[in-house]
């Protein structure tokens, strides 16, 4: 795990300190209320891509060099395109912005203590990193083999699911059943089992794929392959299955839209293969050349 920058830890420490100061103590004689910790319904955050083209971006400003400012020009051909290199008159650039001061009292003992705590116990990450292989059949529901990599060197968890994880590929973030937001990073691939079996049979090869588990009918669920993980690890896994079951129609419609857009785009690119574009590179020399590498200033 990479070390956490001190500035980042300091900001977290200040926020935590300010939050603790804002909490009001209960009135005298009134018992403090116990924190309410109940599972909530998982939900998707933001929109799900459905293949709808994004709104057109405004055109970028075009950089035009007047002919009178071009001092020298050379051209060369590469990969079917023309690369033009132009030496132009120097252009005045604004100075780089000054770095913003860090409003932290690094000598504050409370802050130093909080930094030490954060270094010893880094904040929990919200990233859910999954790799999935979706096994599809002609006359049977799909099965997905998923690997969940826990951050911070926590190893991985492998499980089988009766959900089609391709449908979850459009989800970027969600609220888990513990109430905390999660960011989903999902890499997936699909395997047409019947087509693969026919291909192997035609070449006299045996199908040595994994043994697929049997799931009961009903909502999508999962089976851990190997040692049972702790309850905290199961939270995002269960939450994704809850999302799949509650938002199945929405997820499926969005995935079908993305597939249509992908097929149409591939067909268009096949009929209109991209052509190499000509490139113009402009450069100029400063009045005081930088010292050569290794030379003293």
Confidence of residue 204 (pLDDT cuts 50, 70, 90): low
Given a contact cutoff of 8 angstroms between Cβ atoms, the answer to whether 146 and 163 are in contact is no
pLDDT in tens, 142-170: 999 999 998 777 789 999 999 999 999 99
- E strands, the chain, in order: 43-45, 70-78, 81-88, 127-136, 143-149, 156-161, 173-175, 181-192, 222-225, 279-283
CB–CB of 177/243 below 8 Å? no
Lowest mean pLDDT segment, chosen from 9-18, 46-55, 177-186, 199-208: 9-18
> Above 50 in pLDDT, residue 26?
no
Give the mean pLDDT of 20-43.
51
Q: What is the mean pLDDT of residues 89-108?
A: 79
Residue 40 located in a structural domain: no
pLDDT digits (tens, 9 = 90+) for 271-287: 999 999 999 999 998 76
Q: In which band, very low, low, confident or very high, does the pLDDT at 202 lie, cut at 50, 70 and 90?
A: low
Inside any domain, residue 297 = no
Residue 144, in any domain of the structure: yes
Mean pLDDT of 171-193: 93
Q: Does residue 194 form part of some domain?
A: yes
In-domain check, residue 188: yes
In a domain, 184, yes or no: yes
In a domain? residue 143: yes
User: What CA–CA distance (Å, rounded) separates 162 from 212?
Assistant: 10
Closest CA to 20 of 114, 124, 126: 114
pTM: 0.67
Report d(CA 197, CA 206) in Å as an integer. Answer: 8
Domain residue limits at 196: 125-206+215-228
| Separation of alpha carbons 284 and 186, rounded Å | 45
Q: How many domains does the chain have?
A: 1
Strands 156-161 and 143-149: antiparallel
- Which residues sit opposite 44 in a β-bridge? 174
Task: Let me know if residue 161 belongs to a domain.
Answer: yes
């Amino acid at each position: 795990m990479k070390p956490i920058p001190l500035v980042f830890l300091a900001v977290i420490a200040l926020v935590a300190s300010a939050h603790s100061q804002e909490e009001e103590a209960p009135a005298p004689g009134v018992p403090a209320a116990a924190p309410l910790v109940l599972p909530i319904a998982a939900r998707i955050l933001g929109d799900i891509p459905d293949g709808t083209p994004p709104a057109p971006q405004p055109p970028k400003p075009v950089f035009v060099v007047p002919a009178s400012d071009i001092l020298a020009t050379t051209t060369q051909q590469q990969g079917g395109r023309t690369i033009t290199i132009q030496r132009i008159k120097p252009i005045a650039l604004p100075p780089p912005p000054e770095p913003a001061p860090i409003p932290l009292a690094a000598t504050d003992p409370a802050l130093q203590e909080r930094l030490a705590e954060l270094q010893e116990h880094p904040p929990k990450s919200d990233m859910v990193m999954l790799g999935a292989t979706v096994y599809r059949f002609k006359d049977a529901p799909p099965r997905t083999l998923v690997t969940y990599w826990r951050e911070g060197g926590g190893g991985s968890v492998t499980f089988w699911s009766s959900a089609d994880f391709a449908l979850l590929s459009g989800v970027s973030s969600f609220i888990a059943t513990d109430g905390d937001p999660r960011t989903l990073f999902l890499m997936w691939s699909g395997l047409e089992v019947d087509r693969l079996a026919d291909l192997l049979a035609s070449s006299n090869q045996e199908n040595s794929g994994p043994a697929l588990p049997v799931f009961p009918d009903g909502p999508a669920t999962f089976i851990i392959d190997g040692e049972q993980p702790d309850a905290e690890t199961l939270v995002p896994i269960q939450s994704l299955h809850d999302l799949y079951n509650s938002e199945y129609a929405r997820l499926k419609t969005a995935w079908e839209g993305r597939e249509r857009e992908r097929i149409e785009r591939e067909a268009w690119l096949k009929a209109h293969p991209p052509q190499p574009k000509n490139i113009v590179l402009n450069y100029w020399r400063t009045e005081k050349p930088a010292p050569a590498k290794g030379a003293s200033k």
